[in-house]
Structure 1
Amino acid sequence: NMIPKIYVINLKTSIDRKEHMDQQFKLLMKKHPELKLNIEYFPAVHGTREPKHPLFKKYNAGKHFTRKGRHLSLSELGCFASHYLVWQQCLNNGMPIIVLEDDANLLDNFVYFLQEANDLAEKYQFLWLHKNHRSSKYITIAKTQYFTVAKYFREFMCTTGYLLTPETAQKFINYFDEIIYPVD
């Protein structure tokens, strides 16, 4: 059962974060040599250095300001564009992927998630990877010895890590024809 490809979104200038992720993956593979990981560092869009990025044209500043009383920063737009480009990659590959931001902390149970990721992708088109202790209301959908799949009833904002299928990548791309809110 092959593990889906892992995309780590990383600004080329964030060398320390890349090293932090490298260390975590090395430790994971040392503890679990049977793991066959395919990891790609995906070059993040640097909003302040690329203020004219083509995806920023999707930003509806008026709607965001009306709803939130402020404008999205170039960094927030860069974050959005980075995730959007990874969604396109997922769609192009036609395979489920795991997306991690470069500040993710991989917990001990991450290995069990990896081992079950393909099966999970068949049942759920999208899964957030997040530690417990959310204050929002939720119901438990599935439980394994190592982690829980829960459905939350309010918006859940966190893009540190997620499992994504091509079907959901397509839905996200269609839905986010216009950028109004930050991706995370």
Structure 2
Amino acid sequence: MPNVFVISLKRSAERREKIAKEMAEKNISFTFFDAVDGHQGSPELAVDYDYSKRLWLTSGYMPSKGELGCYASHYALWIKCLEIGEPIVVCEDDITLSYEAAHILSLALENVHKYGFLRLEAVEPGSERLPVEHIHNGTINLMKDNYGGTRAYAISPAAAMRLVKHRWCFPVDCFIGANFIHGQFSYQMEPLFVQLHGEDGSTVQDSVKNRTPLYRKPSREFYTLYKKVMLSFMYWKKRKEIRTR
């Protein structure tokens, strides 16, 4: 399969060996993309980070080095998608592929032009979604958000263009889901390309939890409410559009 990229740190030899074996067993060709390591210095793309919005509206504290590296890695692949002018599939290196991964990959690349962004892993428990199309014993679902959804996805050049136009202010999965900012809706495709994920934990992201200072909480809570309202409105609007076709 063309244009399949696996984000992985150069030093993660064991992970690389594991995912390479997975891909080979499923007869899937891929390319390693050397992850941007935020702990080796601030990524060049970080100069475009909207720190004021981050501090006062979205989280209330500075992004971690790992978060910047994770975002920069995905962002660089969106640029790659634009450069080659074709859809790509992006994976992280801590996934276990489903039995029919090669077939599912073909379906994703066939349908991503129509939808822009196709999540290829399970959704978070309780996530809202709406079936919009049935394909080859599977389903494409409209998602209200894309929380936790960057371990495996297909993206088209049109969707990549929408995402790269805007400055950072969220973790990358939350930004992809923020359709009220960039206009790109998130969809999920089933059957799933990924059977399991995240058992070993992220080597790019940080696990440290920061706290929002008290003096920034009012503005952050206001924006959190605004985000929830906008996500609900955009989801309602898209559902209405789909049902009236």
For this structure pair, what is the TM-score category when the shorter chain's length is used for normalisation?
0.7 to 0.9
Report the residue type matching 2:172 in the other structure.
V
Runs of 4+ in 1 over 6 A off after TM superposition: none
Number of the residue aligned with 1:171: 162
Aligned to 2:120, which of 114, 123, 129?
A: 129
- State how 1:18-167 maps to structure 2 within 5 Å: 18-29=16-27, 37-51=28-42, 53-67=43-57, 68-131=59-122, 134-144=125-135, 146-167=137-158
How much has 1:126 moved relative to structure 2? 1.3
Q: Deviations over 1:51-110 (max 9, x none)?
A: 2x2111112223212231222101100000111110111100001111101112211232
Provide the residue aligned with 2:169 in structure 1. Answer: 180
SS at the partner of 1:66? helix
Give, in whole Å, the separation in 2 of the partners of 1:140 and 1:4: 28
Aligned residues: 172
Partners of 1:128 and 1:97 in 2: how far apart? 12
Larger radius of gyration: 2
Deviates more, 1:109-118 or 1:89-98: 109-118
Identity of aligned residues (%): 30
In proportion to residue count, which structure has more helix?
2
SS across alignment from 2:80: helix
Q: TM-score, normalised by structure 1?
A: 0.85
RMSD after superposition: 1.8
1-side partners of 2:137 and 2:17: how far apart?
27
Is the 8 Å Cα contact of residues 127 and 163 (structure 1) preserved in structure 2? yes
SS at match of 1:38: coil
Letter in 1 for 2:117: F
Tell me: higher relative CO, structure 1 or 2? Use CA pairs within 8 A at least 6 residues apart: 1
Structure 2: tracts of 5 or more residues without a match: 174-245
Alpha-carbon spacing, 1:4–1:146, altered in 2? closer, same or farther (3 Å): farther
Is the contact made by 2:127 and 2:144 (CA closer than 8 Å) also made in structure 1?
A: yes
Per-residue CA shift, 1:150-176, capped at 9, x if unaligned? 11123534200110111111111112x
Aligned-pair CA distance for 1:137: 1.6
